[in-house]
Structure 1
Amino acid sequence: MQLHDRTFLLLGGTGGIGKALIDPLLEAGARVVVATRRLEQLAHRRGVLPVYLDLASMNLDEQLQQLSEVYPDIDGVIHCAGQNRFAALDAMPVSELDAQLTVNLRSALLVAQHFVPRFRKAGVGALVFVGSTFGSIGFPGYTAYCASKFGLRGFTEALRRELADTPLQVIYVAPRATATAMNPDAVTELNRALGNTMDAPETVAAEILKAMAKDERRRFLGWPEKLFVVINGILPKIVDRAMLKQLPVIRRFLNTGAVS
């Protein structure tokens, strides 16, 4: 995929990974339409086109239609917006369950539903979705987040196969733990206690761009996380036993009620 002279809609552009994508996209010669609810967080700069968009809104389809009318030259979407909450399932309000499913999964479906017909008509288009290792491995304390990311992975796989006879590109990138503001201190401390590596947002952004440049269908980040994804898919009992050993440590941090 060539980035030069492309116009990408970036969802989650004020978050850690999204913000880290802006400069490389600009340097590659792309224009970036950054959609956010927090327009005040975006500095005015050449090549960056800020637009208001609320991925949690019930009228997201109407907002996308309005956006396309203003920016009809969009020929790529990078969806890296997300929400999570590290908490036991029975401690999570329904509103927070809904928020994660709405932003992490529903918005991705609606974005694709809106742009696929336009990209197909234009004969070119790319849909890039940022998932998570937790879209392949269920992790205690992230039940809702895992559900949404498992769903996102399945959705992108089905969509890619649905569009296999078209020139449209569907790419899924799954980072491991990433050092962003979305993670509260308790989660950072948990990762340290478990010995989990946390990547910088810039590292993840570079991997996303590599996947786009190589037109990869999916890319999983981190070692040994990539290995655990494979093992979990073939012999999940091995991962079950490993998680059971970690559970006392996870519960210690889980009981802090960490919110992101």
Structure 2
Amino acid sequence: MQLRERRFLLLGGTGGIGQALMTMLLAEGARVLVASRQSEGLRLPAGAAAVQLDLAAGDLGEQLQAITDNWPEIYGVIHCAGQNQFSALSQTPVSAIDSQLAVNLRSPMLVARHFAPRFSAAGEGALVFVGSTFGSIGFPGYTAYCATKFGLRGFTEALRRELADTPVKVLYAAPRATATAMNPEAVNRLNQALGNSVDSPERVARNIVQAMTRDQRRCFMGWPERLFVVINSVLPRLVDRAMFKQLPVIRRFLQSGASS
């Protein structure tokens, strides 16, 4: 897909991966609308503009309509907003489960529902969804987050097949662990203890932009994480055993996170 001179609506553009994506899209000559719950006073570089959007709101559909009324030339939407909470399920508040479902799963579905028919009628358009390796591998301490990301992966797969006879492009990108402010210190220390590789937001953003320009349908990032995704899909018991060995370490950091 061509990026130059095309306008993209970027959801989650104020976060680590989102900010890096905005910078790289602008460098490619794209124009970017950065959606934020607090758009007033948001300082953005040339080529970017702010729009107000609350992905967890009950009237999300109406807010999306207002954006397209004001910006009818939007070519694509990049959904990289997300919420997570590292905690045992028994210690996860219902409000945290609800907010993750709303932002991570409900909002991508409503975004696609709004834009897919418009892009199809226009004869072009792209829907890009940023998922996670945890959308393919269930990980202790992230039960709610994994549920939403598994759902997002399944949704994008079904959507891509539903739109296969239209000009609308659907890309699902799945980063591995990424160094962003969304991760609490307990998670950073857990990744160190387990020897997990952690990518920078810039590296993730570069992979997403490359996948877009190459018209990829799926983009799984990191090695050996991509291998684990395949193994988990065909031989999940092997991953069960590996996770069981890690469980005492994971529980230790779950407890330290809960007490901090």
Q: Please classify the TM superposition score into its range, dividing by the shorter chain length.
A: over 0.9
How far, CA to CA, are the matches of 1:229 and 1:153 in structure 2?
12
Counterpart of 2:26 in structure 1 is 26
Counterpart of 1:91 in structure 2 is 91
Deviation at 1:46, TM superposition (A): 1.6
- TM-score between the two structures when normalised by the length of structure 2: 0.98
User: What stretches of structure 1 of length at least 5 have no aligned partner?
Assistant: none
Counterpart of 1:159 in structure 2 is 159
Tell me the C-alpha RMSD between the 2 structures: 1.1
Deviations 1:33-59 (A, max 9, x none): 000113257314321110110001011
Counterpart of 1:100 in structure 2 is 100
How far, CA to CA, are the matches of 1:41 and 1:237 in structure 2?
51
Counterpart of 1:55 in structure 2 is 55
Deviations 1:44-81 (A, max 9, x none): 43211101100010110010001110111101000000
Counterpart of 1:182 in structure 2 is 182
How far, CA to CA, are the matches of 1:111 and 1:225 in structure 2?
28
* Letter matched to residue 12 of structure 1: G
Contact 1:160 1:170 in 2 (8 A): yes
How far, CA to CA, are the matches of 1:36 and 1:206 in structure 2?
22
Counterpart of 1:130 in structure 2 is 130
Deviations 1:136-179 (A, max 9, x none): 00000000000000000000000000000111100000000000
Deviations 1:167-197 (A, max 9, x none): 1100000000000000000000000000001
Counterpart of 2:144 in structure 1 is 144
How far, CA to CA, are the matches of 2:246 and 2:27 in structure 1?
43
Contact 1:14 1:41 in 2 (8 A): no
Counterpart of 1:113 in structure 2 is 113
Deviation at 1:24, TM superposition (A): 1.2
* Letter matched to residue 49 of structure 1: A
User: What stretches of structure 2 of length at least 5 have no aligned partner?
Assistant: none
How far, CA to CA, are the matches of 2:3 and 2:41 in structure 1?
25
Q: Does 1:10 align with 2:10?
A: yes
Deviation at 1:23, TM superposition (A): 1.4
How far, CA to CA, are the matches of 2:211 and 2:231 in structure 1?
23
Identity %: 69
Residues 184 and 135 (structure 1), Cα distance of their counterparts in 2 relative to 1, 3 Å cut: same
Counterpart of 2:65 in structure 1 is 65
Counterpart of 1:223 in structure 2 is 223
Deviation at 1:27, TM superposition (A): 1.4
Deviation at 1:205, TM superposition (A): 0.1
